[in-house]
Every structure is written in structure tokens, then in C-alpha cells.
A and B are shown apart, each in its own frame.
Chain A
């Protein structure tokens, strides 16, 4: 009451101002640290009329957090598709590239064209052989690159599953620690910062829903509702390699699968897009191209007996419909036309099955081979290029489509990245530190402290005067 209450009140002001200065200094020191959320002091009136510091508040907007994390997951999904397809896309080459699949095919087409007009010319026969070997090799390389990409995807899935579990376990641990902190102090705020960063990192991998309970702990589910974390318990994710399923315990959460309560965005969703849709489709397109080469050269070659392998083979054998998968990686030129493998170059003119060399100027078989390139062939409509097209048109469509898969992913990643950037700016606007604003507060803190100190001094002088009078 009276003087002593006044003394106590101004003292509480000094304490509160000092705490405020402490927080402002912390804000300024951490201004450029990613994931730091601006602290403010929460105060209330003390019973006697002074000021009571009740805790440290983190300036967070949870709906902006949610928006940013969902954009992040979208960017990550497109980003992983774009970057994983880099190697394969490079192999597809530019339109003018003569060593690309299209370039090699064009060379072979020209080769047969020139040969059919001068079938006796051995340099033209050798030219056809070289072009066909080049085409087979380029196709083999492309198929192998897709296989390698698939292996890289599987490794990526396993790696990211490990990371997801790491983040979930960390968040569970932080939940417990946060729950154990009764007061809203600086330490608790740091733990909450760390937990927010872990949740951001998890959102890159899987798009999730986060719910904060009244005790400050978070619960995490996949975007379609499967529980991943409940307060202090993290449910670990696993990848079943043989079935190709992603699971939490026994519940399947494979992304973008109907009938499964999984998720749709995030880096893991990108890996599964590659594994289940994109790469199998590209392989099918390559294998169809290889199949048409093998089968059309078999049927155009009048020198072959039934079941005999033609100009293009499946590692030496004739086409077998049950062996379509991976045919592009096994496509070989028949050894019978290759002098380096015990064959004879004149079989390019006379047919692979020809026992003896025929008339030098007979262009019947070369013209038969040339017709393959100039008449429409049947393709599996699943390959997406129509069911009856010329091989050149199929190839042009296939390469453009495959290139555009990566380019579309890049463009989507860029656009979503722009949106994420906007969400991030808005989020940081709320929770980030503005140096000017903090420095202005310092001015107020200085004045406040000086004012409280002045009050304390005045009261001290008053007490001195009272004591002097006794």
C-alpha cells in the first residue's frame, strides 16, 4: 500500500522492460535465421497494479503455415520428377542432334533409301550396317538409362521413408519436451521453432494435416487422413518393395492410389509418380518402337524361314510377344549381316536368310526394307501415339511427349514455386523479424526503462526524506 506498492510497481516495470529488451535483442540476433519466429512478451496486470510478465508468445499464423506447407509439397512433387528425368531427357537430345534416337533412325532410313538405288555399292551397305548398329546402341542406352532411373527412384523412396520416420520421431520427442514445459518461456518457444522446422521438412516429403491440441502437442495425419503421429507416439512408415506399397503399420498409404487413404503431394508422391506411371509408360513407348523394328524387318525379309530372326533381333532371337518388356534394351542387329561377327555384308541387300550372294543390282529386298519406313505400322494404342502410324511419326510423337513430361514438371515446379514464395512472404511477414520495427521498439524500451528508473529514484528520495524526518 502506498509508497511500498509504488516501489513494487515501478520495480515490476523495470523487470518487464528488461525482459522486453531481452526478447528484442533475441529477435534482432536471430533476424536472419531460417525458422525463427518473432517473440513478443505477454504481460498482464499484477494484483497490486504493477505489470506481470506471463510468458513469451510466438507470433504464428497457423493458416499461413498450412498454406505454405501445402504449396511446398506441390513444388517438391514436381521438382523430383523434373530432376530425376534430367539424365534421360539429355539422352533424347535436341531436334538437330544426329546421334539422338531420332537422328539415328533418320540415318537408317536414309541409308536404306540410298542402298535401294545402288544395291551393289558396298560402301552403302556398310553405311546401313553402321546406322543400324548406331540405332540399336542408342536405343539400348536409352532403355538402360530408364532402368537406372528406376533404381534411383527406389533408392529415393527408401531414403525418403527413412527421413520421414526421422522427422516423425523427432516431432514426437519435441512434443513430449514441449508438453513437459509448463510455462511459455524462451526454451519452450525454441522447442516450438524446432518442431515447426521439422514439420516443414516433413511437408516437403509428404503433404500432411497438422492439428495442435490444447496441451500444445501436435497430431499429424496424411492429407487423406491416416494417422502418422499422435502426441508422443510416432507411427513409422515403411516401403514394401515387392508389392510397391507405402505403409504405416498395416495401413497402406501409397500416394495417389484410389481406395487408399494416403496423400497426393510431396517428394514421395513424385517418386511414386515416376515409379508407377511415368517410367513404365516411357519404357512401353521405347519397347513398342523396338518391337515394330524387329517385327516389320522380320515380315519384310523374304529370305527368312518361319521363326527365323530378322535384321533386328532380341539379342539374336526372333520376336517373342511374351518378351516385350525391356526389348529396347536388348535390341541387336543380326550377326548374319555383320562381317565383324561372322556375317556377310551382302545380306543387307539379299536378306538375312540368304544362303548365297544374289545379283549385285537387285534392289528388291532393300526396297522391301525401305517400305517399312514409308508405310504405316501398327502400334499399341497404350503407347499414346495412335494405333496405325508411320514409324517416323511415332518416334517424333514419342520423343516430344517424353521431353514434355520433364518440361511440364519443370514449369509446374516453377509456377508452384512462385505461389509458395508468395505464401512464404506472407508467413514471414507475420512471424519474421523486421529490423526497423525491433529497433523502434528499443527506443520505446529505453524510454520506458528510464521512466521506471526515474520513478524508482523518486520513490527512493521520498523514503529518504521520510527517514531523515524521523
Chain B
């Protein structure tokens, strides 16, 4: 026999047809699933070494979404804080307007000052005790506590109320200008919580229930903080024992504790009232500073939120590119596979009819 005849085994032919048909059917099923879901059926197999990118992106996307929602909550909290601070400044300024004419000597309005001061203290206490989602805004990290005692409210630890403290300091009245100045100085120590002679009278002991400015070792007490982005924290805590507020409360307390129109000694009056007015003015300036700082923090937070929203869109788009399937491309693949399968069926059927058996 000349030449090489390459035969094929009948068994092998049938097996090959069967495996080719089932392979096409499997591919068709996979692509149909991808068209139905819009996602790759086996992301890891399709992406290979890029799979780790998808996983990392998903984690980053999820964290970014968390940052956006917690930052929006924080933004709301800061809005409430800003509104409250504005209210506090208005109350203080209004009082200052009626108190200032009486700074050095009493005028006809002096007799009404005590009642006005008490009313202002009550309003301020209410404002400073504002809560947001069950946590106090101005208590520092002891946010479960109500920051300020009411004027007549007795502190459980010291057994004193704010009015008791003032009464204790003022005593029977002022002997002269020096006495008044000395008592005003004691009040300065008390409101800055530095009176070591009688610490129970201190602002942080009796008036205020929140976090002290300093811990026992002398280190500053941590403030309310929020993580607004990766490795970025915002320290936004404003506390009712901050200097701006203690100045305001000191000035108001000095006028609320005694009817200044009854102070007989002119020098005593001058010393006492000018100290109180000065405290109030300093307090108002302090409040403006606090509000300004808060305002810039709010703006930074808003900008951060916008950036994070944009970043979230980028992550989402990238994830869809990696995991998603182009529907048009997938539909074309289905058409191609269908055609191939039909052709295979036709050829198989025709060839299986071609046998010498039919011609014998």
C-alpha cells in the first residue's frame, strides 16, 4: 500500500461529538447567566490577578460610604451646635446691652438687672444642656451627663448649688471697694476651677457635671472627636466649662446673686460691676471665636463630604467595570454559540447517516 491513510476510530468520533456539544451547551448556559445578572459568572476566573483589586476596591467603597453617612450625621450635630451657640451669644449680648449703662454707677435700670440676670442664666443653662441623639453637646466626653446645674440645683457630690456658692463668697455684702475686688477675684478662681482653698465651690465641682478641662495628672482631657476620613480626625468638642462660657456665666452670676442697686459703697459697686461687665464682654468675644472656629470646621467637613461622594462614584464605576458584563457583547456571544451548536447538531446528524451500512 502506497501512501499513508489516516483513519479515525468510530468510538472516538462519537465521543468527540458528544464532548464538543456539551462544551458548547455549558458555554451557552454560562453566557445566559451573565446576560441575566449583568455580572461575570466567575469574577475571579475572569479577572485573574486583578481579583485582588476588586476585593480591595469593595472594602474601600464600603468604608467610604460609612464615612459619608457618619460625616453627614456629624454635620447635622455641628449645625445644631452652631445654632445653639448663636442663641447663647444673642442672650448674652442682649443682657450686656442693658447692663453696660450701669457699669460704673447704678442707673434707673439697675434694680431690674438681678431678675434679668437670673432669666438669662436660666435660658443659657437650657441652651447649654442641649442634647443631640441622647448625648449632651456641651458636656465633653462625659456626654451622658447633663452639663449644667440649675441656679438653685444642688450638686449631689458637693451639696452646694450655684446660688449657694455665690452667697458663700459674697457673704453679708461688700465692706468697701477692696473687699468687692477681692471677692470678685475669688470668683475668678472659682469659675476657672482653680480655687484650692475650698474646691467644692469650683465651677467643675458644683456648677458643671461634664468632663474637666484637665485630668488629675495635669494632661488635657480628651475632647469629642470624629474620624472624618482615613487617618483624619476632627476634634469638635465645645464644653460648657470652656473659658468663653465660664466668663459669661461668671458675669451673669455676679449680677444674679445680689441686687446691685442695693450696693451702698460706690467703690464696691464700681469694682463689682465693672468686673462682671468685663467678664461678659470677654465671654462674648470668646463666643465669637468659638463660633468662627466651628464655622470653619463645618465648612471643611462639607468639602470633605463632597469629595467622598465623588470618590464613591469613582469606586462604584471601577467595580462595575471589573465585575460587570457588557450586555451587547454577551448577547452577541450567545448568538454565536447558538449558531455553532445548531451547526454541530446538523453536521452530527448528517455524518451519522453516512455509513456504508446504508448502501449494503
Contacts and interface: CB of A to CB of B under 8 A. Distances in A.
Interface in B134-156: 134-135, 139-144
A429 B143 contact: no
Interface string A26-68: 0000011110000000000000000000000000000000000
A397 B222 CA distance: 37
Contacts of B49: 400, 404
Contact of A424 (B12, B45, B140, B230): B12
Interface in A412-436: 421, 424-425, 428-436
Interface string B2-19: 000011111110101001
A124 to B, nearest CB: 10
A367 B233 contact: yes
A411 to B, nearest CB: 8
A425 B135 contact: no
B140 A359 contact: yes
B56 interface: yes
Contacts of A95: 43, 51, 54-55, 58, 323
A106 interface: yes
Given A114-B70, A439-B357, A400 B8 contact: no
A392 interface: yes
B25 interface: no
Contacts, number: 167
Contact of A362 (B14, B222, B230): B222
A435 B10 contact: yes
Interface stretch (B61-69, B111-119, B276-284, B287-295): B61-69
A31 B10 contact: yes
Nearest to A109: B63
A116 interface: yes
A55 to B, nearest CB: 20
Contact of A429 (B12, B56, B62): B12
Nearest to B233: A367
A96 interface: yes
Contacts of A411: 45
B8 A364 contact: no
Contacts of B45: 407, 410-411
B360 interface: yes
B348 to A, nearest CB: 16
Interface in B20-78: 42-45, 48-49, 51-56, 58-60, 62-63, 66-67, 70, 73-74
A106 B133 CA distance: 26
B262 to A, nearest CB: 43
A12 interface: no
Contacts of B141: 359-363
A396 B55 contact: yes
Contacts of B10: 31-32, 432-436
Given A113-B227, A440-B356, A425 B16 contact: yes
B97 interface: no
B11 A31 contact: yes
Interface string B219-254: 000101111001101000100000000000000000
Contact of B6 (A105, A114, A429): A429
A113 B7 contact: no
A367 B62 contact: no
Given A120-B135, A360-B135, A439-B356, A113 B9 contact: no
Select the residue from B14, B74, B227 with max chain A CB neighbours within 10 A.
B227
Nearest to B71: A117
Contacts of A276: none
Select the residue from B6, B11, B67, B139 with max chain A CB neighbours within 10 A.
B11
A395 interface: yes
A424 B12 CA distance: 8
A424 B19 CA distance: 13
A440 B357 CA distance: 10
B44 A432 contact: no
B143 A428 contact: no
B11 A433 contact: yes
Nearest to A96: B58
B193 interface: no
A439 B139 CA distance: 101
A174 interface: no
Nearest to B144: A360
B156 to A, nearest CB: 18
B355 interface: yes
Contacts of A364: 222, 225
B211 interface: yes
Contacts of A359: 140-144, 211
Interface string B173-212: 0000000000000000000000000000000000000010
Given A117-B73, A359-B140, A360-B141, A434 B59 contact: no
Contacts of B16: 421, 425
A409 to B, nearest CB: 12
B290 to A, nearest CB: 18
Given A117-B73, A362-B141, A392 B11 contact: no
B225 A367 contact: yes
Select the residue from B10, B48, B360 with max chain A CB neighbours within 10 A.
B10
A363 B211 CA distance: 13
Contact of B8 (A31, A102, A407, A434): A434
A173 interface: no
A331 interface: no
A120 B144 contact: yes
Contacts of B323: 95-96
A429 B355 CA distance: 18
A399 interface: yes
Contact of B52 (A105, A396, A437, A443): A396
Contacts of A110: 62-63, 66
Nearest to A391: B59
B142 A360 contact: yes
Contact of A361 (B19, B74, B142): B142
A403 interface: yes
Contact of A113 (B60, B63, B355): B63
Contacts of B357: 435, 439
B44 A117 contact: no
Given A95-B58, A120-B143, A433-B11, A363 B224 contact: yes
16 contacts: A31-B11, A32-B11, A95-B58, A106-B58, A110-B62, A110-B63, A113-B63, A113-B67, A359-B141, A360-B141, A361-B135, A361-B140, A363-B224, A404-B51, A425-B12, A435-B10
Given A34-B11, A407-B48, 4 more contacts: A113-B227, A120-B134, A428-B8, A432-B8
Interface of A: 31-34, 94-96, 102, 105-106, 109-110, 113-114, 116-118, 120, 359-364, 367, 370-371, 374-375, 392-393, 395-397, 399-401, 403-404, 407, 410-411, 421, 424-425, 428-437, 439-440, 443
Interface of B: 6-12, 14, 16, 19, 42-45, 48-49, 51-56, 58-60, 62-63, 66-67, 70, 73-74, 133-135, 139-144, 211, 222, 224-227, 230-231, 233, 237, 323, 355-357, 360
4 closest Cβ contacts across the A-B interface? A432-B9, A361-B143, A400-B52, A396-B55
